[in-house]
Amino acid sequence: MKLRDAPAACPSLWRCLPCPPAELRLDLVLSSGQTFRWWESSPGAWTGVLGGRVWTLRQERDRLWYTVYGDEDDDDDRDGRPAEAAKPDGAETDRVLRDYFQLDVGLPALYRAWGAADPLFRKVADDFPGVRVLRQDPVECLLSFICTSNNHISRITAMIERLCRAFGRRLCRLDARPFHAFPSLSALTGADTEARLRALGFGYRAKFISGSARAIAEGLGAEGLHQLRTVPYAEARRVLCALPGVGAKVADCVCLMALDKAEAVPVDTHVWRIARQRYSTALGGRSLTARAHQEIGDFFRGLWGPRAGWAQAVLFCADLHQGQQPAGSRDRAGGGRGKGSHEEEPP
């Protein structure tokens, strides 16, 4: 099956969920630095890896359409031919998508509450509806966000792609493009992992990825990392910050996007500037210290309430899309704010 096929072209292989744009905008959520495994495979269609399967998603009016592709292991006689769409197991695939996009959380009511509390939020809300926080696999989220320090979205996406191709199980091939699962912890704990990652261009992050993978494998384990969903935010944050390469911003990203801590507010230098320039010049002091992280997070939690991290995601997305550079311009990492940069000093 070709990626360009529309839902109507193959109805038996596509399913849909009711999902109006006010509840979800794929183009905003999947391109704004929460996840790095999706690409716009054709206008309005997004293809990526979720739960060890390859999916294509498309929105049409008030419905979210999706199809799931067969695993290469499902057809030993394919002889390298591209994967075909598999008839989805409806109840299970619906559940996976509803969980991933947290569709049980009603977004319009939250937008109204945040707008009532914050005139600045109200100014951008109408132009950026449907921005919600994903619920990701904790291991994938953690190791991905270790790659984000002093980096920008396009470069992070390329790094994660190289990581998955080098260490992850191959799932299928679509239009000559191979797709791989995110690596397991065991795949990243070999003695040569750091050297291989450095050869792939990960730089100092190679040590942190291999070190954190090893620390989790030898300590909490993947299941223990998942279990942090059940502990208080402060405790989950403390456990994460003890891992190699995990500072306050990375820990808050994982708490918010993988561990059900909706109150977590990730603060990088960009969010720090938003807080100081648009809310109060007294916020966060003169540099992004641990105290500044806490102060800015507490400020936004007081302003927006228990889902402050979700409201921050809307403002971050709005600022990212409003500030995108013209086509052909170069992203900048490190010293300047490039398109979709995640700036944080190396630990």
Q: 128 and 314 in contact (C-beta within 8 Å)?
A: yes
319 contacts: CB under 8 Å, gap ≥ 6 = 270, 274
| CA distance from start to end of the chain | 45
CA quadruple 191, 197, 203, 204: dihedral sign:
negative
Q: How far is CA 99 from CA 3, 51, 65, in A?
A: 24, 11, 15
Scan for tokens 């509450």, then name that residue. Answer: 113
Of 106, 103, 157, 160, give the one whose Cα is nearest residue 135: 103
Catalytic residues: 249
Cα–Cα distance measured from residue 50 to residue 58, given in angstroms and rounded to the nearest whole number: 15
